[in-house]
Amino acid sequence: MTSEHTTPKLERCSRQKFLVWLSVWGLLLAWGLYGAFLCLFKGLNQTGMNNYFVFGLWITVDLAIIALGAGAFFSGFLFYILKVDHLKDLIGAAVVIGFICYSGAIGMLTIDIGQPLRGYFSFWHANVHSMLTEVIFCITCYLFVLTIEFTPLILENKRLSEFPLFKYIGENLHGIMAVFALVGTFLSFFHQGSLGGMFGVLFARPFAYRTGVAIWPWTFFLFILSAIASGPALTTLVVWTTQKVTGKQLVRRSTLSKLAKLSATLFFVYLILKAADTVYWANVTAPQMGFAFTRFYQGPYGMELLFLELFVFGLLPAVLLLIPKAREHDFSLVIGCLFICMGIVLNRFVMTVQTLSIPVLPFEKFVAYAPTWQEWAVAAAVLGYGVIVYSLSYRYLHLFPREHELNA
Amino acid sequence: MLPTTFEFRWDAGHMIFFGVFYAVVIAIFTSLVYVAVKSIIDVYRDMTARNEANASEHPEHPHEATNEAVIAKS
């Protein structure tokens, strides 16, 4: 983030071109809003959720984008607390991406709870023994923190900073951003963990249940690690895509490579722990509960999902991005980061949907989950919303402090 | 969320959870209040400095000088 008063003029495409670009994503958003309207007006019978699947596509997407949005808190922590200076090139973009992910997730949750007017119940009648209470408290607070982190970027806009009060608010917020970065790290650490813990404590769902330390199952720690590994991968991917779409160099190439290396290193550590967790669960935890490991993988959710998660979208991108020469090539950089993101999406899908598809009572059968178009529309709307917010931010704000220098 | 809610009990779970939660909320709001107050002081300081600069440029008839400048500009 730049704090200088004289920010260079941004060179952007014509307004007409920009409006065409926005309208494409606006249509996607409108389709999603129509789906959301139907869900709110007619009820959750518009979705594929039922007595088997109380969680579906929306929770999968929620968990995935919350994990992928971790790039904001992790980059903030590295930049403001550990003083990793090269992240200055893209800390603004990371904040915007995080803001989009969290606001999108909360927007989707608003539809998912069916009765948004009762959304305050989770705050007012808080069940302190529920991992979800911690999640809802933390993601709400963290979205507020992200909004605060986003504000100086907005106030740096040339027209807004002409007002002295806005200019000083932006500068002073920027001055104590380390406090917000620290608070954001604290909140993110716990809600990412609690999202994993929520599955790990499900004693009646042996596919998800894990042992652990004190009140925290192993999934608590695996979710934190997977989030901080995949967040920088999404940031790298988005910044690279922005460069390709705009035809400009926005950050130094070495910054993207370093971020990808960081992501790959953390992802590799995550995979080792995930593999250890899977082996222990398959050989000890599940058999103790009377389940054979192979019984968990049936129908459309076969063993290939585990293979894809651990190897194709796990080991492969991690090893690829750990090779210095591979990181220097755009193709392998993008494939690596994309596969890491896909691995996390798949992990969240497996934990959400496959957990619920496995029969746990004698009269139950193995069932598959099929989302309706309304669910897809709402999920797509988050993408449309994200692209619109990001595009507006890129057009009107100084997301990349080195942009002018790199394109001079 | 608040001790006045009828289900609330002063047990360890509530105290730890809400203690941490309110500590975070207080940290956020204290920081925001600090930023707001400091920004208002900065704006006020700027205005004072500008007025003093104007006064030192035109020490004898500051109001007349200001009016002249406005007229000349218009």
Per residue of chain A (408 residues), what is the pLDDT tens digit?
A: 444 445 677 788 899 999 999 999 999 999 999 999 999 999 999 999 998 899 999 999 999 999 999 988 899 999 999 999 889 999 999 999 999 999 999 999 999 998 889 888 888 888 878 888 889 999 999 999 999 999 999 998 888 888 999 999 999 999 999 999 999 999 999 899 999 999 999 999 999 999 999 889 999 999 999 999 999 999 999 999 999 999 999 999 999 999 999 999 999 999 999 999 999 999 999 999 888 888 899 889 999 999 999 999 999 999 999 999 999 999 999 999 999 999 999 999 999 999 999 988 888 888 899 999 999 999 999 999 999 999 999 999 999 999 988 887
Q: What is the DSSP letter of A301?
A: B
Strands (DSSP E) found in A25-144:
none
Measured between alpha carbons, how far is A393 from A149 in angstroms, rounded to an integer?
14
The alpha carbon of residue A123 is apart from the nearest alpha carbon of chain B, in Å, by 6
Residue A387's closest CA among A42, A36, A101?
A: A101
* Residue in A with minimal Cα distance to B17: A128
pLDDT at position B74 over 50: no
Alpha helices in A211-252 (DSSP H): 218-246
Of A174, A1, A123, the residue nearest B25 (C-alpha): A123
Q: How far apart are CA B43 and CA A177, in angstroms?
A: 20
Residue A6: per-residue pLDDT = 57
> Does residue A247 come out as left (phi exceeding 0), alpha (psi in the -120 to 50 range) or beta?
left
Token duo for residue A208: 């998800």
* Pairwise CB contact (< 8 Å): A176 & B7: no
Q: Chain A interface, mutation test: which of B2, B33, B39, most A Cβ atoms within 10 Å?
A: B39
How far apart are the C-alpha atoms of A211 and A201, rounded to whole Å? 8
Query: How many separate helices (H) and strands (E) can be counted in chain B?
Result: 2, 0
Neighbours of B22 (CB within 10 A): 11
* Nearest CB partner across the interface for A128, out of B2, B17, B31: B17
**CB neighbour burial string for B23-45, b if at least 16 within 10 angstroms, e if fewer:** ebeebbeebbeebeebbeebbee
B40–A165: do the CB atoms touch at under 8 Å? Answer: yes
Residues of B in contact with A125 (CB under 8 A): 1, 5, 7
Q: Helix, strand or coil for residue A43?
A: coil
B59 Cα distance to chain centroid: 32
Beta carbons within 10 angstroms of residue A10's beta carbon: 16
Q: What is the DSSP letter of A298?
A: B
Q: Which residues of B touch A124 (CB under 8 A)?
A: 1-2, 5
| From A128, A134, A168, residue closest to B14, measured CB to CB | A128
In sign, the C-alpha dihedral spanning A288, A290, A295, A297 is: negative
Q: Dihedral of the CA atoms B58, B64, B70, B73 (nearest 10)?
A: -70
> What is residue A364's predicted lDDT score, i.e. its pLDDT?
87
Partners of residue B6 in chain A, C-beta under 8 Å: none
Chain A residue closest to B23 (CA)?
A: A183
From the list B5, B70, B50, B17, the residue with the least C-alpha distance to A164 is: B50
List the single residue in B31, B36, B46 with the smallest CB-CB distance to A164: B46
Which single residue is written with the structure tokens 């009140």?
A215
Burial of residue B20 (number of CB atoms within 10 Å: 0-12, 13-18, 19+): middle
Size of interface A-B (CB pairs under 8 A): 57
Evaluate whether A128 touches B15 at the Cβ level (below 8 Å): no
Chain A positions in Cβ-Cβ contact with residue B24 (cut-off 8 Å): 141, 183, 186-187
Which residue in the block uniquely carries the two structure tokens 């290193």?
Answer: A265
Residues A165, B13: C-beta atoms closer than 8 Å = no
Query: Which residue of B lies nearest to A131 if distances are taken between CA atoms?
Result: B17
Domain ranges of chain A: 8-41+379-396, 48-371
A148 contact residues in B (CB cutoff 8 A): 28, 32
Q: How far apart are CA B62 and CA A165, in angstroms?
A: 26
CA A221 to mean position of chain CA atoms? 16
Contacts of A173 in chain B (CB under 8 A): 35
The pLDDT value given to residue A158: 85
Partners of residue A121 in chain B, C-beta under 8 Å: none
pLDDT digits (tens, 9 = 90+) for B16-59: 888 888 899 999 999 999 999 999 999 999 999 988 888 887 76
CATH topology of domain A48-371: Formate dehydrogenase/DMSO reductase fold (1.20.1630)
Q: Quick one: closest CA in A to B16, which residue?
A: A128
Identify all chain A residues contacting B50, using CB atoms and an 8 Å cutoff: none
pLDDT for res B1: 59
Q: CA distances (Å), A381 to each of A124, A129, A218, A269, A388, in order? A: 29, 33, 33, 34, 10
Which position has the token pair 């935890």?
A285
CA distance A100 to A226: 19
Give the pLDDT confidence score for residue A1 in this predicted structure.
43
Domain boundaries, chain B: 30-74
- pLDDT reported for residue B62: 52
Distance CA B32, CA A158 (A): 23
Cα maximum dimension of chain A: 70
Task: Report the gap between the CA of A183 and the closest CA in chain B (Å).
Answer: 7
Q: Which residue of B has its CA nearest to A126?
A: B1
